[in-house]
Amino acid sequence: MASAEPLRVVAQRLGSLPPPCAHCDARERNFCAALDPAELAELAKVMTEATLPPGGVLFHEGAPADYVMNVTDGAVKLFKLLGDGRRQILGFRFAGDFIGLSAGADYSYSAESLTEAKLCRFPRRKLDAVRERFPQLDRRLLSLSIDELTAAQEQLLLLGRKTAEERLVSFLILLSQGQVRRGQTADPVVLPMTRSDIADYLGLTIETVSRTFSALKKKGLIELQDTTHIHLVDRDRLEEMASGLA
Amino acid sequence: MASAEPLRVVAQRLGSLPPPCAHCDARERNFCAALDPAELAELAKVMTEATLPPGGVLFHEGAPADYVMNVTDGAVKLFKLLGDGRRQILGFRFAGDFIGLSAGADYSYSAESLTEAKLCRFPRRKLDAVRERFPQLDRRLLSLSIDELTAAQEQLLLLGRKTAEERLVSFLILLSQGQVRRGQTADPVVLPMTRSDIADYLGLTIETVSRTFSALKKKGLIELQDTTHIHLVDRDRLEEMASGLA
DNA sequence: CGTAACTTTGAAAGAGATCAACATTCGTGG
DNA sequence: CCACGAATGTTGATCTCTTTCAAAGTTACG
């Protein structure tokens, strides 16, 4: 099964990587970061780029998982549906994030773009071939997968045990941290998603999300510059609330 | 970083594996299944076995993640706590399941045994050394990690969007499937956990769990042989309910 | 067999959902 | 550039599912 090809072991796993994967800049959650230039060149050969309009479909739950992809620009939502249409958003993905690893042959959730989004797509079959030859890619994917699992578990805590207010505060802080990770400013939190998306991520209704924003504003904890830009006035207090300190 | 030692590539990745990892029989979710006997021997050298009484602590959230482990007998719960003590159970683990991979240096959740439980523990440092030399182990761990992530995402849907009745039904079916995976019978579903554990897994209170069991019984969908053995009377209807068909 | 822990059931209360109306934003085309 | 209509967001009133509070059964075990 595993090939016995000589491994090209390269220490430089970070550092800026030029042309090959130009649109895949070396973010933390970008799996390209595990590869040296020679390996990237291999991947670049099988990579295709795509731009989706807002609301565009990346793939549907149950479809053959033929591609994995990196978001290189914009924002994407991942979600699952129940039989009667109830929706749960599993998470949002931004520039630098990786999408599409699947346990079986099919995607286990759907993905749609929130804004206009740019993607690098890799045929799964081709990626598997590269993985055979560069085992450190599996290590990198494992690391990404564990990070994603850890985030999902944090969200289980949120959905199972937090109040509406705690959920919204946790969400704002999570987004703020994501902005910092991507090299943006922590503070005016930008919401590229609708209230409906926020509600379906937090297990609430749009009305409760809206009311909770208003309540936080009245308490002086946040300020809504406009619908999509939130200023966190008292971050310490908000962090405290998010961690469930009565 | 990665050693350039010659890899011993062995096709036989399944099949029964004798002594080395005797208590780790080759279940689907057992990472040992990725290894050939020679590799298993290496792991066996650094492995220690442990038996925990009911309610025993495997590790606490925030503690150094010095060990990964396989459950070889019994049942274990994984959970996170909020500042004021609210608890969310992330999942239950049974014989054959793997526990303890962590994104950072510390565990991101706590683990306690439900019943008396037997474990094989591997020092993480030693395991990392074995991973360096046998990259297919990373592939195996990646596969396990993706399975776990997929299960967590299904649970997000449950916690965010399902009713109490749908949650409990989904839980029973999940347990039933787990029993089948471990080679046990599908039908009398065995509940090694308390109502309190079930409630904290499903994002409910013990009273709601109890009332919902009673309601399902009254509807003739289940029968409680005793508190811990549930007979699924109308499995098709239950599956339908779990998938959220109005 | 008695006591503590767990489970079930009942009654009251509450957080968030639903139903409804109004406000605001945004895209489109006159 | 502004007007209009649709989509999105906010606020209010009411309802309901689940929680909370309370107490009675049941089980496990020393």
User: Which strand D bases fall within 7 angstroms of a protein CB?
Assistant: 8-13, 17-22, 27-28
Q: Cα separations (Å) of A59 from A62, A107, A108, A112, B150? A: 9, 8, 10, 7, 16
Q: How confident is the prediction along chain A (246 residues), in pLDDT tens digits per residue? A: 333 323 222 222 222 333 344 445 544 566 655 556 667 787 888 899 999 999 999 999 999 999 999 999 999 999 999 999 999 999 999 999 999 999 999 999 999 999 999 999 999 999 999 898 888 899 999 999 999 999 999 999 999 999 999 999 999 999 999 999 999 999 999 999 999 999 999 999 999 999 999 999 999 999 999 999 999 999 999 999 999 997
CB < 8 Å to A157, chain B? 80, 82, 88, 90
Name the nearest CA neighbour of B108 among B63, B148, B153: B63
Strands across the sheet with A110-113, in order?
A57-59, A110-113, A75-81, A87-94
Identify whether the C-beta of residue B82 lies closer than 8 Å to the C-beta of residue A160: no
Please give the protein residue whose CA is closest to the C1' of the nucleotide C5.
B194
Q: Across the strands, what pairs with A223? A: A231
Say which residues have a Cβ less than 8 Å from residue A60's Cβ, sequence separation at least 6.
Answer: A107, A110
Q: How confident is the prediction along chain B (246 residues), in pLDDT tens digits per residue? A: 333 333 222 222 222 333 334 445 544 566 655 556 667 787 888 899 999 999 999 999 999 999 999 999 999 999 999 999 999 999 999 999 999 999 999 999 999 999 999 999 999 999 999 888 888 899 999 999 999 999 999 999 999 999 999 999 999 999 999 999 999 999 999 999 999 999 999 999 999 999 999 999 999 999 999 999 999 999 999 999 999 997
User: Which strand C bases fall within 7 angstroms of a protein CB?
Assistant: 6-11, 15-20, 25-26
Using CA atoms in the order A55, A60, A66, A67, what is the torsion angle rounded to 10 degrees? 30
DSSP character at residue A64: B
User: What structural domains and CATH numbers belong to chain A?
Assistant: 19-144 (2.60.120.10), 162-242 (1.10.10.10)
CB < 8 Å to B90, chain A? 153, 156-157
CB < 8 Å to B149, chain A? 103, 145, 148-149, 152
Strand C contact at CB of residue A227, distance < 7 A: yes
Measure A94 CA to C3 C1' (Å): 58
Identify whether the C-beta of residue A32 lies closer than 8 Å to the C-beta of residue A43: yes
Asked if A84 is an interface residue toward chain B (Cβ–Cβ < 8 A), one would say yes
d(CA A48, CA A97): 16
